[in-house]
Amino acid sequence: MTTTLDAPAPAAPQPRNRAAGRLTSLLKQRETGIAIAFVALLVVTTAVNPNFLFSTDGWRDLTLTPAILVCLAIGQAMVIVTRNVDLSVGSTLGLTAYLAGRLFLDTGLPVIVVVLIAVAAGAVLGLINGVLVAFAKVPALVITLGTLYIYRGIMLEWAGSDRINASDIPPGLLDFGTGSFLFIPNLAWISLALLAAAIYLMRSTRVGREFYAIGSDPAAATLYGLRDKRRVLQAFATSGALAGLAGILYVSRYGTISSGVGQGIELEAVGAAVVGGVAIFGGSGTVLGAALGAYLLTTINRALPVLGIPDFWQQAVVGALIIGAIVLDRYFARRQHDKLLAEREEA
Amino acid sequence: MPDTPAALELRDVAKSFGPVRALRTGSLRVEAGSIHALVGENGAGKSTLVKIVAGLYRRDAGDYLLAGEQVDFRNTADAKQAGVAVIYQEPTLFPDLSVTENIFMGRQPTNRWGKIDRAAMRTEVVELFARLGVPIEPDRPTEGLSIADQQLIEIAKALSLDAKVLIMDEPTAALSGNEVDRLMTVARTLRDQGCAVVFISHRFDEVFALCDTITVMRDGAYISTDPISAVTEDEIVQRLVGREVSNLYPKLEATVGKPMLEVKGLTRTGLFHDISLTVREGEIVGLAGLVGAGRSEVAQAIFGVDPYESGEVILDGRPVPPGEPRRAIEMGLAFVPEDRRQHGLVLDAPISRNITLPTSGRLARTGLISTGIENRSAADWAARLEVKAATLDTVAGTLSGGNQQKVVLAKWLSTQPKVLIIDEPTRGIDVGTKSEVHRLLSTLAQEGLAILMISSELPEVLGMADRVIVLSEGHQTAELSREEATPEAVMRAATAHHSTTLNVSEAS
Amino acid sequence: MSLLAEKVEPRTYAAHAKPWWQRTLMTRDAAIIALLVVVWTYASIVILNFSDPITVYFLVLDITPILLIALPMTLIIITGEIDLSVASVVGLSSVLFGVLHREGVPMVAAMVLALLACAVAGAFNGVLVTRFGLPSLAVTIGTMALFRGIAVGALGTTAITDWPDAWGDVVQARIGDSQIPLMTVPLVVLIVIFAVVLHFTPFGRGIFAAGLSKDAARFSGVNVDRTKLILFTLSGLVSGLAGIYFTLRYGSARGDNATGLELQVVAAVLLGGVSIFGGRGAIPGVIAGVVLIGTIGSALRLDGLSANIIQIITGVLLIAAVIAASVLGWTGRIVGTYRRHHSSEEPSSKQSPERKRSE
Amino acid sequence: MTSKFRRAGSAVAIVAALGLALSACGGGSDSGSDGEGGSDTSSITFIPKNLGNPYFDASDKGGKNAAKEIGTKWSQVGPTESTPDSQVSFINTATQQRAGALVVSANDPTAIGDALEEARNAGTKVVTMDSDTEPQFRDIFVSQADAAGIAKSQVELIAEQIGGKGEIAVLSAAANATNQNEWIKLMEEELTANHPDIKLVQTVYGDDDDQKSFDKTAGLLQSHPNLKGIISPTTVGIAAAARYLSDSQYKGKVALTGLGTPNQMREYIKDGTVKSFALWDPEQLGYLSAYAADALASGDIEGKEGDKFEAGDLGEYTVGADGVVVLGEPTVFDESNIDDFDF
C-alpha cells in the first residue's frame, strides 16, 4: 500500500506499558481465576488429607481422572464458540467405546487401527450433527438432544445385555490406560497434547479464528464471506472425533463397557466449558478455560468426601459453581462494557 | 462509450426473488478516481444492486464488469479478492474479536504452517490507523465502539483490501457532523488515489457536496446518470419520485389548549441532562437535533421503556411512573418508535395482533380475548389508516415500509392516546405515504392530540412543528417558536457545544 | 371513516386469507394429532392387548408428570427461553415433601411447603434470567445440577417410603368402574387453564409477542421480564406438583426421582410443534406430542421391544419434526416469496439474525 | 399463505409416513407375545433391575432354561437404568399383556408396589427374586440366600483376610437397594457382635455403575489411608473395585471381597488382587424363580408357608415364612475352584 491520507492529525494509539498491561490482563483472565480456584482446592484438600496429592495414587488420580472430561470439554468448547452446543457427546462416547470393544472382541485388528476407527466413527457421528445443524438450520440444542437419544439407543440396542469385560480388551491397551510416563499418566499426556493442539488451532489458525467469528455474529460472518457451514461441520466433527477418542480412553482406563457408559457426561462437558468461561452464546472463551473447568469439576468431585462433605452434595456444588461462573461473567462483562462506554465518552 | 473501461460497470442487471422482481434494469458505470452518487427511494433496488456487486446475491441476467472484465462472484470473499469493498449502513463487525482481527478476518496472513502472523497484522493496522488518523486501540474488542468508529474500521478494512471499488451504503445515516466530515475527507482521498467510490445517501446536501456523478434509480430500474453539476436537487427529486410532489407538509391550524405532557428536569447520566418540555393539546412540538443528540433516548425514557435517574413526567396533570410503559399507555401516552422493524412491530405476527397488542387488556372485557375481538378492532383501525393489505392475518413483516408505519400508527391510535410521541415519523417510507402521514399528524393535532415529533429531517420539523426544541449532546440548547425556527437557527442550536471535551477537529 | 381525509370509501379486510377448516386442519398441531390417531389406530389393530382399556389407565399415569411439566414449558419456550431444571425440581419437591412428612408435618402442609419451595426455585431461575440477563440455557443447566444436588444431598442414601396408603390410592384411583384414572380430572382442568391463558388472554398475547420480538413487545407495553419471571415461577410450581405426584404414585420420595425427565419434556414440547426460537406453538399440539411419545412407548413395550428402540424413535421423531418444518419451509419458500414480496420493497423479510446477547 | 398450507399438508404426510414406518418396524419384531389374545397364563416375564447387568444375564439364562423345561413362554424386558419408575412401565406392560407370572428384582421395596398390585389384580402372579419388595406386594420371594447368612459370610471372609482387625468400608450399589441395605445392616450387627476390632468406616454407593464404582473406590482409599479392606456386595462394584486395586499401590495390601461372578473376577483372583469372594449361582436363582412362578401361575401353590413345589434339577423347595423361598448357601470362590464355574 503506497497510499497516504491527509486526514486529521492522528492521536496514535498510546503504546501502554505492555509488560504491565500483560500482567493485569493475565490476572483478569478467566483461566487464571479457574486455575487459582483449582490450586486453592488442592491446597485445602491436601492440608486436610496429604494423601490427596502426596501419594502415588493421589497424584495419579488427580492427573488421570479428568483426562476423559478434558477431551470432551475441548470439543464442547469449540462447538459452543460457534454458537452451537453438542449434547450428544455422552452418547457418542458410549457408542464408540462399545464399537471399539466389539472390534477387539470380534476382530483381531491391531489396537491402533481400532483407535483410528473409533475416532473416525466419532467424527462421523459428529458430522451427522453438524450436517443437520448447518443445513436444516435447526438449533443445535434440539438436534443434539435428538441424536443423544438416537446414538444411545443404537448403542443399547446393539449391545443388548452384552457387556465387554476387561478380559476382552487387549492387555496392551489396558496397560497403556493405567500406565504413566514421567510420573504423569499416559491418558493425561494424551489430553494435554490434545489441549495444546486445540489451543494452537483456536488461537493461531484461520479455522479457529473463524469459529470465534461465526459465533460472535453469524450475520457478519456471511457478509465477510466466511464459509460458515463448513466451519460448523468442522466444529461438530471435531467434537465427535474427540468424543470417539474419549471412548477409547474410557476403554483403556476402565476396561469394562456397560450400557451406561458416558451417560450424563454431556452436561458435565457443557458445565466444564461454561465454568471455564466459554460463553453459551458463542464468540468468546477458550479451550484452555474449558479444560481447566474440567479439571476443577472432576477434582471437586473427588475432594468433597475428603473434606468431609458427603459425596451426595457434589452435584449441588457443581451447580452452584456453574451459576456462580455465569453470574460472575455477566458482572465482569457489564463492568467492561461500562468501562468501554466511559472511555468513549472521554474520547 | 469511452475507450478505457470503467472501474465498475453494470448493464441491465436483473434479480428476482420468486416472482418478485427486485431489480429489473440495474445499470451503473463508475470511473476510477471518481465519487459516484447512487440515489433512489427505498425499494428502488439500490440495496439489491449493492448486494450483487458485493457477491452476496447472484444476478439473474445482465452484465457485471470490473475494469472491463466480466465477473460472477459466488460469495463476498470472491468479490473482496477482486477488490470490491462494501461499507454497509450498519457496520457488521464481530463484537467479541479485536479490531485487528475484524479487519483481517478470513484473510489473515499465515506462515506455511497455517499459523496466523499476528505481529504482521498489528503492524499493518497501526499503519492504517495512523494514515486514517484513527485513535483506536488495535487490540481492543470492537464491542462498545461507537457506530462512527465501527465505520472507520470498515473503511480501514476496505483500505487494507486495496479496494479498487468502494461502495458506501448510507454510511452517514448514523453519523454526526464531525464524523460525516471525516468520512467525506477519507472518501475524497480515496478518489484521488484512483479508487472508484459509490456513495449511497438520502441526504442531498452530502451528495452534492461530495460526488462527481449521480445515478438515479426507481422501481428497480435505471433512470438517469448525470454529472452532478448538470442537475439540480429539484430535478433529482422529481426523477426519484416519478411525479411532481406538492404539499409535503400540509400544516393545519389547530387550537392549542392546556398542557398535556410536561417533562421536568429529566436526566440520565451520559445520555441526556435536565430536559424540560411541555406539549399542549392540539400542538405539534418538534424535537430536533443531530443523530446521537439524545432525542430518542429522551422519548424512550418518557414512555418508560428506558430508565431515567431524575426528573418527572406528567401527563394530563398526573405523574407517569418511570419504567412502566403499560401504565403510560393506560394513562394516554402513545409512542411510535424510530426503529420500526425492531421496536415498532412484531414482524412475524399478523397485522391484527400487532394493532391490538397494546390494547389487548382493554379489549378483553371478560378477561379473555379472541381472534374475533382482535380482528374487529384491528379492521376498524386498519381501515381508518388505509393499510394496504388483503387480510388481517397478513404477517406485518411482509408489508412495505409505508404500510408497516400505518400499522404502527393504527396500533397506537387505537389506544385513544392523549399524547403521541412519534420518533422519525417518515423514515424509510416512500414520498406518497410520507405526505399521508404528515396529513394524518396535522389532522390529529387539529382534533386536539398533543404530539411530540422527533425528526432528523429539517424540512419535516420546520414544516410540521408549532414549536421546536433542539437538543445537542444531551442538552436542551434552544426552544424556538414556528416563526423563529429557521434552518439556520435550528442547526446552530443543534451543533452548540456544551462541554469542552467535545470541541475537536473543527478544522476538518 | 378514514383519518387520512379526502378519501371517503373505507377499506374492508377479510379476517383471514384461508377458510376456517384450512386454518384448523393444516397446522402442525393438526398434523401431530393426526399422527397420534394413526399410531393409536394402528397399534390397536396390530398390537395384542393394546386396545384393552387398561392401556389408557397406565398411559395416563405414565405421562402425567411429562404432561404437567410440558404445560409451563410450552409457555416458556414460546417466550424464547428454556427451563432444563424441571426434572431436578421434581426431585427436589419429592425430597422436601418426603422429609417434611418424615418430620411429622401433616400431609397437606408438607405438600404446600414443598410446592412453595419449588416455586421459589423456579423464581430463582426467573430472576437470574430476567434481572441478571443471563441466558436461560446456561442458567438452567446450572440449576439442574444445583437442585438435583440439593435433593440428593438432603436425603442422602435413604428413600422415604412410609406413605399413608390412602394418598397413593387417590393418585391411582379410577373414575367409577372405568379405566380412566381420577388424575385425569385435575389434569384436564390444568390443561384447559393453560390453554386459555396462552391462547385467550392478554397475558398469552404478551407471551407470543415476547417470543417473536422482545423489543417490540416491550415497546407495546408488555412487561417481558415480569412475564418470564412469572412463567419460570410457574414452571417451578408445576414441576413441584409433578414431584408430589411422583412421590405419591411410587410411594417413594427419592432424590433421583425423574432423572432425565427434562429431555423427554423438551422433546415432547418440540414434537408438539412449539418452535425452539420462540413465538410459535399451541397447547393442543403439545398434548398430542406428549401422548404420542407415551403411546409409541406403550405400544412398543407391549410388542416386546426394549426401551432402547423407544429412545431411538423419540430422537428420530424429534429431529424429523423440527427438520420437516425447515425442509418444507425451504421448498415452500419459492411459493412463499411471492406472497411475502408482493407489496414489499426489499427481498428481505428475512429476519435479521437476532443478536442473542443482551448487551 | 399458500406456503403454510402446503407446508402443513406435506408435514402431515411425511410425519404420518414416518409414524407408519416406525410402527411397522415395531410390529415386525415379535418376541413371544403373539398367539391368542387375552390372558396368557402360561407365560413368564422376567424384569431385572436393569439390562446389561451380567448378574441378571445369568439369572435370566436360568429362567429361560427352566421355562424351556416347563414348556412355557418366557420373555425378559427391563429398563436401562435401575430406577423404580422405569421398572413400573415394564410391570404395567406385563399387566396389559396378561402375563401369567412376573419375576421381578425390585429397585425399590415400595415404589413398585402399586404396579405389582395392579398386576396381581389382573391375575398375574408375582415372584420377586434377588431383591424383595414388601411382602404384601408379591406372592413369593426367591431369596438367593438368607440375608443373615450372606452378611455373616461376607464379614467372615474379610475378617479372615485382614486378620481380624482394622478399618473396612463397604462399596454398595444404589442407596435404596433393599437387599444391599439389609446386608449392610446385618454386617454391622455381625461386626459388633463378633468382630469388635473391625471398624466399618464408610459406606459408599456406586449405583451399579462401573465408572462410579471405580471412582468411589479411589475416593475410599484416599479418604481412609488406614483402610484394610473393602466389602462390595454387588457384582458391578466388586469388579470395578478389583480393577482399581489391581493396578494401584494398594494391590495386595487392601483386601477386597464381596459378591461377584467368577467370569468377572477370574483375572483378579489370578493376579492376587482378590483372595476370595462369594456368590450364589444366579443362574440357579433364575431357574428356581421361574419354577416358582410357574407353580403359582398354574395354581399348584398359592405362596403360603409350607407350600411345596418341584424345581426341576434343584429338587423340591418349601415356601417359608412370609412367602420366602431360599435358594441355599452362597458358594465361596477362590483360586482353587474358580475355574470350575462359568457364569
Tell me the pLDDT tens digit for each residue of D212-243: 788 889 888 888 889 999 999 988 889 889 98
**Interval C71-85: pLDDT, tens:** 999 999 999 999 999
Task: Say if residues D98 and D71 touch (Cβ distance below 8 Å).
Answer: no
Pairing of strands B61-66, B69-70: antiparallel
Residues of chain D with C-beta less than 8 angstroms from the C-beta of C58:
89, 92-93, 95-96
Nearest to C337 among B17, B344, B384 (CB): B17
Supply the pLDDT for residue B194. Answer: 87
Q: Is B167 helix (H, G, I), strand (E, B) or coil?
A: strand
Instruction: Say if residues B100 and B84 touch (Cβ distance below 8 Å).
Output: no
* Residues of chain B contacting residue C344, judged by C-beta atoms under 8 Å apart: 20, 43, 398-400
Look at residue B127 and tell me if it is in a domain: yes
pLDDT of the residue at D80: 73
Residue in A56, A256, A298 to test binding to D, most D beta-carbons within 10 Å = A256
* C327 contact residues in A (CB cutoff 8 A): 136
Inter-chain CB proximity C301 and D12 less than 8 Å:
no
pLDDT tens, B190-234? 888 888 999 988 777 888 888 999 999 888 889 889 998 888 887
Say yes or no: C27 contacts chain B, CB-CB below 8 A.
Answer: no
Residues B315 and B385 in one domain: no
Taking CB atoms and an 8 Å cutoff, what residues of chain A touch C319?
132, 138, 142-143, 146-147, 150
What is the distance between the alpha carbons of residues D252 and C240, in angstroms, rounded to a whole number?
Answer: 50
Please tell me whether residues B156 and B204 are part of one structural domain: yes
**Cβ contact (<8 Å) for A139 and C150?**
no
Domain for residue B3, yes or no? Answer: no
Output the CA torsion sign for A122, A128, A133, A139: negative
CB contact residues (below 8 A), chain A span 75-94, against chain C: 83, 85
Least confident stretch, B3-7, B28-32, B500-504, D75-79: B500-504
If you measure CA to CA, which chain D residue comes closest to A159? Answer: D52
Average pLDDT, chain D: 81
CA distance A202 to chain D (A): 31
Cβ neighbours of C45 in D, within 8 Å: none
Q: Domain C20-335 classified CATH 1.20.120?
A: no
Question: Is B1 part of any domain?
Answer: no
Residue B265 located in a structural domain: yes
Phi then psi for residue A311, to 5 deg, are -65, -10
pLDDT of residue A16: 46
B237-288: per-residue pLDDT in tens? 778 776 655 566 777 777 888 999 999 999 998 789 999 999 999 999 999 8
Q: Based on DSSP, count helices (H) and strands (E) in chain B, helices before strands.
A: 17, 20
Query: Which one has a higher pLDDT value, A11 or D302?
Result: D302
Please indicate, yes or no, whether residues B167 and B148 belong to a single structural domain of this protein.
yes
Task: Assign residue B13 the CATH number of its domain.
Answer: 3.40.50.300
> From B92, which residue of chain A is nearest by alpha-carbon distance?
A220
pLDDT in tens, B358-387: 988 888 888 888 888 888 889 888 888 888
Contact A315 C270 (CB under 8 A): no
Q: How far is A95 from chain D (nearest CA, A)?
A: 14
Does residue B443 sit in the same domain as residue B493?
Answer: yes
Distance from CA of A220 to the nearest CA of B (A): 5
Number of CB atoms found within 10 A of residue B505's CB: 12
| Residues B370 and B308 occupy one common structural domain | no
Question: What pLDDT, on the 0 to 100 scale, is given for residue B25?
Answer: 87
- Tally Cβ neighbours within 10 Å of residue D192: 11
C306 and D30 within 8 Å at the Cβ level: the answer is no
Structural contact between residues C71 and C191, judged by C-beta atoms closer than 8 angstroms: yes
Q: List C-alpha distances in Å: B221 to B24, B39, B204, C9, C24.
A: 5, 12, 20, 33, 42
The answer to whether the Cβ–Cβ distance between C137 and A132 falls below 8 Å is: no
Across residues C218-244, what is the average pLDDT? 95
Which residues of C, range 190-229, sit inside 8 Å of B by Cβ?
196, 200-202, 205-206, 208-209, 212-213, 215-223
Q: What is the pLDDT of residues A85-133, one digit of tens each?
A: 999 999 999 999 999 999 988 887 888 999 999 999 999 999 999 999 9
Quick one: which H or E segment has residue B293? none
Contact A57 D80 (CB under 8 A): no
Instruction: Count A/C contacts: CB-CB distance under 8 Å.
Output: 157
How many angstroms away from the CA of B192 is the closest CA of chain C?
34
The domain boundary residue, chosen from B366, B382, B416: B416
The average pLDDT across B336-364 equals 89
Question: Residues D127, D101: contact at Cβ < 8 Å?
Answer: yes
Cα D61 to chain centroid distance, Å, stands at 13
> Considering only alpha carbons, which residue of chain A is nearest residue B143?
A337
Helix (H) or strand (E) holding B143: none
Last residue of a domain, one of B208, B241, B274: B241
Residues B369 and B503 in one domain: no
D125 contacts D297 by C-beta, under 8 angstroms:
yes
Contacts of D5 in chain C (CB under 8 A): 18, 22, 26
**Smallest Cβ distance to A57: which of D80, D221, D266?**
D221
Residue C64, φ and ψ in degrees, nearest 5: -50, -50
The pLDDT of residue A282: 83
Query: What is the number of other CB atoms lying within 10 angstroms of the CB of residue B25?
Result: 19
Q: Smallest Cα–Cα separation from C341: which of B223, B23, B202?
A: B23
The grid coordinates of residue B92 equal: 457488521
Q: Which residues of chain A have pLDDT under 50?
A: 1-16
> Contacts from B242-245 at CB under 8 Å and sequence distance 24+?
B242/B218, B245/B431, B245/B435
> What 3-state DSSP class applies to D308?
strand
- Please name the member of C22, C328, C335 whose beta carbon is closest to the beta carbon of D11: C328
Does some domain include residue B435?
Answer: yes
In this structure, the number of other CB atoms found within 10 A of the CB of residue B234 comes to 11
Last residue of a domain, one of B416, B440, B474: B416
Q: Are residues B170 and B44 located together in one domain of the fold?
A: yes
* CB-closest option in D51, D219, D263 to A302: D219
Coil, helix or strand for D342? Answer: coil
| Residue D145: band (very low, low, confident or very high) from pLDDT cuts 50, 70, 90 | confident
For position B173, what pLDDT does the model report? Answer: 67
With 90 as the cut, is the pLDDT of residue B328 above it? Answer: yes
Query: Which of A25, A206, A230 is the best mutation test for B, with the most CBs of B within 10 A?
Result: A206
Question: C19 CA to chain D: closest CA distance, Å?
Answer: 11
- Residue B397 confidence class, pLDDT cut points 50, 70, 90: confident
Element (H, E) at D102: strand D99-104
Contact between C250 and D75 using a beta-carbon 8 Å cutoff: no
Asked if the C-beta of A25 comes within 8 angstroms of chain B's C-beta atoms, the answer is no
Q: What is the DSSP letter of D248?
A: S
CA distances from B4 to B167, B228, C293, D253 (A): 21, 21, 70, 92
Taking alpha carbons only, the member of D176, D144, D106, D337 closest to residue D259 is: D144
**Contact by Cβ (8 Å): B141, B95:** yes
The answer to whether residue B338 is domain-embedded is: no
Nearest to C216 among B43, B303, B343 (CB): B343
Does B115 share its domain with B248? Answer: no
Residue that is written with C-alpha cell 440495496 in the block: B47
Strand partners, D140: D127
Contacts B169 to C, Cβ<8 Å = none
Residue C203's pLDDT is 94
Q: Give contacts of A 287-316 with C, CB under 8 A.
A: 310, 312-316
Chains that touch B (3 or more CB pairs under 8 A): A, C
Q: Is the ipTM of this complex over 0.85?
A: no
B265 vs B285: CA distance, rounded Å: 17
> Is the residue at B337 inside a domain?
no
Q: Which residues contact A229 (CB under 8 A, 6 or more apart)?
A: A134, A135
Q: Is the pLDDT of residue C162 over 60?
A: yes
- With cut-offs at 50, 70 and 90, classify the pLDDT of residue D36: very low
List the 88-147 stretch of A: residues with Cβ below 8 A of D: none
Helix (H, G, I), strand (E, B) or coil at B76: helix
CB contact under 8 A, D88 and C250: yes
The answer for residues whose C-beta is within 8 angstroms of residue A115's C-beta and 6 or more apart is A100, A245, A248
Q: Which residues of A touch B193 (CB under 8 A)?
A: 3
pLDDT at D38 over 60: no
pLDDT digits (tens, 9 = 90+) for B282-298: 999 999 887 778 899 99
Least confident of B395-404, D135-144, D206-215: D206-215
Subunit contact D7:C296, Cβ cutoff 8 A: no
**SS3 state at B11:** strand
Nearest to C276 among A136, A142, A148 (CB): A142
Q: Find cell 460448523 and name the residue.
A: A232
Percent of chain C with pLDDT over 70: 86
pLDDT at position C336 is 46
Give the residue from A224, A229, A335, A340 with the most B CB atoms within 10 Å of its CB, the best one to mutate.
Answer: A224
A122, A159 contact by CB (below 8 A): no
The answer to the question of residue B129 being in a domain is yes
In this structure, what DSSP letter does residue B45 have?
S
A327 touches chain C (CB under 8 A): yes
Exposure b/e, C320-356, CB count within 10 A at least 16 = b: bbbbbbebbbeebeebbbebbbbbbbbbbbeeeeeee
Identify the band that residue C333 occupies on the pLDDT scale cut at 50, 70 and 90.
Answer: low
The closest alpha carbon to C51, from C62, C59, C60, C40, belongs to: C40
Question: Which residue in A9, A14, A284 is closest to B96 by CB distance?
Answer: A284
Asked whether residue B325 falls in the same domain as residue B348, the answer is no
How far is A19 from C297, CA to CA, in rounded Å? 63
For residue A160, give Cα distances in angstroms to A240, A260, B445, C307, D50: 23, 12, 78, 11, 11
d(CA D308, CA D324): 12
Q: What is the dihedral of CA D141, D142, D147, D152, to 10 degrees?
A: 170
B136 shares its domain with B276: no
**Residue B199 backbone phi and psi in degrees, to 5:** -120, 120
CA–chain centroid gap for C176, Å, is 30
- Residues C118 and C89: beta-carbon distance below 8 Å: yes
Q: Calculate what percentage of chain D has a pLDDT beyond 70.
A: 87
Q: Residue A4: what pLDDT?
A: 44
> Which conformational region is residue B19 in: left (phi greater than 0), alpha (psi within -120 to 50 degrees), or beta?
alpha
Which pLDDT does position B490 carry in this prediction? Answer: 85
For chain B, the domain total comes to: 3
Residue B497 has pLDDT above 60, yes or no: yes
- Print the SS3 string covering chain A: CCCCCCCCCCCCCCCCCHHHHHHHHHHHCHHHHHHHHHHHHHHHHHHHCHHHCCCHHHHHHHHHCCHHHHHHHHHHHHHHHCCCCCCCHHHHHHHHHHHHHHHHHHCCCCHHHHHHHHHHHHHHHHHHHHHHHHHHCCCHHHHHHHHHHHHHHHHHHHHCCCCECHHHCCHHHHHHHHCEECCEEHHHHHHHHHHHHHHHHHHHCHHHHHHHHHHHCHHHHHHCCCCHHHHHHHHHHHHHHHHHHHHHHHHHHHCCECCCCCCCHHHHHHHHHHHCCCCCCCCCCCHHHHHHHHHHHHHHHHHHHHCCCCHHHHHHHHHHHHHHHHHHHHHHHHHHHHHHHHHHHHC
Three state DSSP letters for B103-141: HHCCCCCECCCCCECHHHHHHHHHHHHHHHCCCCCCCCE
For residues B266 and B381, state if they share a domain.
no
CB contact under 8 A, B92 and A204: no
Residues B207, B184, single domain; the answer is yes
Give the structural domain span for B407: 344-416
